[in-house]
Amino acid sequence: MREVYIVGAHESVHGNRRDADLRKLIAEAAIPAIKDAGIDKREIQAIYLANYNANQFNNQNTLAALAATSLGLPHVPTVRFEAACASGGVAFRQAYIAIAAGIYDTVLVLGVEKMNVPLEEADADMQLQWAKSGVDYRYESGVGMNGATMFAMFAHRHMHEYGTTREMLAFSASKNKYHASLNPYAYKQREVSVEKILKSPIVATPFSTQEVSLITDGSAAVVLTTKDKALGLNKKMAVKVLGSGHGGGSFSVAFRDSHVTMRATVAAAKEAYSMANLKPEDIDVVECHDCFSFTELMNIEDLGFVEKGKGGWFAMDGHTRLGGKLPVNTSGGLCAKGHPIGCTGVGQIVEMTWQLQDRAEKRQVKNAKYALTHVLGGPGAISAVHILGRSDL
């Protein structure tokens, strides 16, 4: 297999983007990413686009082809990937495989989602149904379960088994609010104290309004290419893709053997570490899925950074904060930077690319050599993990 490098990366400002439709969001990420790569757009041989639900939120399907045409590349082959919240990670993995296998030399990976829809176009109940379509509708989400209630159950079980506390969840959320306050691309760029989080209205116990992922519009893009191409571009700051993992777990929450471990994450991480020939202790900075405050704590356990049940204590000791032993979600994560579902996995890649290129400004992790990204899709049934490294060109 050929070596694969990231030579261009960019993302849009995240938020309730009333000023931007899908085409504008695509352009805001893709055009600067191509410019960052230093290539002519005609060198792009394929576009792999991640999107969760434009067919309902925006009445638009076949979105990858729309993206290609709107970017002036109507004859480039395109594919849209949908894996709920893991869509971006899965799209990136497939582009990586295509280049490593010699099918293409240069691929543009895009993630985009426009989730803020005016109520006069679709009422709140309808939009909630659209959002829940990534979970088993007939047997679970259709009878009352949604993302918040599901992960609340997981959190309660973790609390019961390991003594994780409400304060630990709030502490993790507050940490990510701080990181987002340093990120000019984040939706909510302000700090929120642990005390305020604990006093905020409850969405689904134990989660307050400050501990849930945000309904967000946004886009992100990266350009992947071969080692020879990167060398030809004189890309001294190209980022190498060292490892890629893709794991699965039960789509039915009821049939799982554990509700405090995501088997999909464990499997994806094992594959990525093996491919990269690295261990968890080698990683310097992480972007992991934090759809709710608890999720990050569970994920850093499943990714092997701490012993199962110790995630809350690890966070409370300050290790996951900028300046700590293992900074996690330097972008602000899903609960502060925002969660434009199909975009999120690609946005994580952008953040870690910037970290490894020393371009993360106020969020910069000093001397970061290895970075890891992790997304979790639907009810935790799909996970994609990637390990990136500083350029060896």
Would you name the residues annotated as active-site residues?
A: 85, 339
The number of CA neighbours under 13 Å toward the Cβ of 25 is: 32
Structure tokens at 114: 């426009």
Question: Which residue shows structure tokens 């109507």?
Answer: 74
CB 1 within 8 A of CB 242: no
What's the start-to-end Cα distance of the chain, in Å? 17
Structure tokens at 207: 């989660």
CB 247 within 8 A of CB 264: yes
Q: Is 26 helix (H, G, I), strand (E, B) or coil?
A: helix
Q: What is the distance between the alpha carbons of residues 114 and 338, in angstroms, rounded to a whole number?
A: 12
Q: Is 109 exposed, middle or buried (0-12, 13-18, 19+ CB in 10 A)?
A: buried
Q: Is 142 helix (H, G, I), strand (E, B) or coil?
A: helix
